[in-house]
Structure 1
Amino acid sequence: MIYCNFELTDLQRDPPAQCSAGPVGEDLFHWQATIMGPNDSPFQGGVFFLTIHFPTDYPFKPPKVAFTTKIFHPNINSNGSICLDILRSQWSPALTVSKVLLSICSLLCDPNPDDPLVPEIAHTYKADREKLLSRAS
Structure 2
Amino acid sequence: MENKYNLKSPAVKRLMKEAAELRDPTEHYHAQPLDDNLFEWHFSVRGPPDSDFDGGVYHGRIVLPPEYPMKPPSIILLTPNGRFEVGKKICLSISGHHPETWQPSWSIRTALIAIIGFMPTKGEGAIGSLDYTPEERRALAKKSQDFCCESCGCSMRSALLALTPNSNPSAEDDKAKELAQQINFKAESSLSRQASESRGAESEPSTVTQGDTSTSAGQEFADGPRAEQAEASPATGVDGPQTPAAPSTGRPLSPRQRRAQQHSQQGQRDGRDPASRPVFPPAPRQPQDESHAGSAVLIVVLTLALAALIFRRIYLAQEYKFDYEL
User: Do the structures match in fold with TM over 0.5?
Assistant: yes
Q: Which residue of 2 aligns with 1:135?
A: 136
Q: Which residue of 2 aligns with 1:104?
A: 115
Contact 2:78 2:86 in 1 (8 A): no
Q: Which residue of 1 aligns with 2:102?
A: 91
Q: Which residue of 2 aligns with 1:129?
A: none
Q: Which residue of 1 aligns with 2:21?
A: 10
Q: Could you report, residue by residue, the CA deviation over 1:30-56 in whole angstroms, capped at 9, with x for unpaired residues?
A: 110001112111111111101011111
2:110 and 2:20 mapped to 1: Cα distance? 14
SS at match of 2:94: helix
Deviation at 1:115, TM superposition (A): 5.3
2:105 and 2:77 mapped to 1: Cα distance? 23
The structure whose residues are more often strand, as a share, is 1
2:32 and 2:87 mapped to 1: Cα distance? 21
1:113 and 1:53 mapped to 2: Cα distance? 22
Candidates 47, 67, 75, aligned match of 1:37: 47
Q: Could you report, residue by residue, the CA deviation over 1:68-104 in whole angstroms, capped at 9, with x for unpaired residues?
A: 112211xx22434322112123111110001100000
CA gap 1:53/1:45 in 2 versus in 1, 3 angstroms: same
Q: Which runs of 5+ in 2 are unaligned?
A: 1-11, 139-326
Identity %: 26
| Matched residues, number | 124
Who wins on radius of gyration, i.e. which is larger?
Answer: 2
TM-score computed with the length of structure 2 as normaliser: 0.35
Asked whether 1:81 is paired with 2:82, we answer no
Q: Which residue of 1 aligns with 2:262?
A: none
SS at match of 2:41: strand
1:32 and 1:114 mapped to 2: Cα distance? 26
SS at match of 2:75: strand
Q: Could you report, residue by residue, the CA deviation over 1:2-49 in whole angstroms, capped at 9, with x for unpaired residues?
A: 110111123247x66500000111421111000111211111111110
Q: Which has the higher contact order (CA 8 A, sep 6+)?
A: 1
- Paired AA for residue 57 in structure 2: V
Question: What is the CA RMSD across the aligned residues, in angstroms?
Answer: 2.2
1:65 and 1:17 mapped to 2: Cα distance? 21
- Paired AA for residue 116 in structure 2: C
Q: Which runs of 5+ in 1 are unaligned?
A: 125-131
TM-score computed with the length of structure 1 as normaliser: 0.78
Candidates 56, 63, 86, aligned match of 2:66: 56
